[in-house]
Structure 1
């Protein structure tokens, strides 16, 4: 038999149940495993010649070959325990899709080796503490002018945080690129244009792209000029795709891609493509093939009937001429008995 509870007792029981469930959830859900407990970023407004103090998304350093540049990195420990962070410089490059990436210590052979933390390569950061670590960038004598992409990499227990170093060596700047391997995939609203951009100059480029198209019957809708969400580093190539919702369903189209970038860089690439609704074309082809087969069968039947009925001259079915029948013998009627 159930025991009746008063409203007050039931409310207390419900409150205790909710509190226990909340406590269980708080204990059962662990902290995210990928949280390092620290951050790495440029010290705000510390760059030489900075216009004003403030947060910086990356380091920007420039100078002539043979000079030494300086800046500072901030390591902020947001956890309740000490962290030991290792610092190094690294070369930067574009992935195939255009993302910014850094090379390992063994792979770095360029600007990443110009970065030095001196005795501060390994830094112990106490709990809830901000450590400022100075570093230098030595531009070798005779280093090529232009951009030399690099990064500062902070590592602890396999977790890496990279901060970009936008490094430029003084001298002539050349903005140049090419558009290669243009092709079209899909059709209609799902069509996409694939292409490759290659930075042939010595400065990083943020390009703009436009697409124009010419069909058999005239112009076809392309794409208006827009800035691409990628920065192509010097000497790098990236493979990109662009939606082309204006592609026709049935036509032969000549496509032209025009890419421009600050500094006077301009390049074009072209391709041609057939757009055929293969479902309709397949059904039409099958219909025409069937019609041709019916016509051929009808002609063959008519020819057989003509041969069997003997219409017109021609050899017999056995390959020899048909012999003519001999005339019947004539009888002389004289009325005299024989």
Structure 2
């Protein structure tokens, strides 16, 4: 068969057109909703290149607060029918910062389109990683609907600050047990996984010691959470100071203290008087020690030789007894 240059050239042109107009067959695709759309949406190749297997599977943007970043979404319709694609940003973080050049794109058969968009990072944005997406929804006859979600990963750069406080500490009795209630507040700009340590000291010494343990939560910047700590065996009669200490990555730490007075069931005012008396005795002992340390050396020696009033009464009684015995003799 004679060789026909024109036919060979036509074949090359058709093959190139097939690659150009059908990027879905060549590149990795973002996730598609059920319905298997015959059109595609994906991050556009850089520098206007044709789609390939090395294309980006998602958008990655990085900038400081106040930065405006630009990129482009590639839409492709390799079918023989026109398709209308509606576009929107999704997600409370990065998705809310996206501005698309067009909200609706009409794709004729066998065509591609690039849709520019921008991401504006607010000036008061906190450093960290955010997730969003561009959602493309197709419409048209012949089963050419469906939805494609293209992920957008956005990183806000800047100095990181880790700050954590524990607040509103309170202890409440619950039958023979008690519950420690408290609030954790993330006052920095990074997500934190807190660690909590608990200690309580009564009139006679320690009554509770719990080593630091990691709490099963991640606290985002600016967020707070109300938590409880069960105390199944508190003292039945005591005046207790409860202290909570929290730490987290980045050097974040905080602490707070609450007082708790425990009474046995049905004790009422009598138990309160006993606890008050115990507390008063402890204070009196401490006061006497302080006063003793503050006296001049001579007075401290004299005070050391003093005896209680009971001892003086006993000595007087002894002297009287001795006097009576001598009179009888």
User: TM-score scaled to structure 1, two decimals?
Assistant: 0.43
Using the size of structure 2 for normalisation, the TM-score is: 0.45
- The structure where helix makes up a greater share of residues is 2
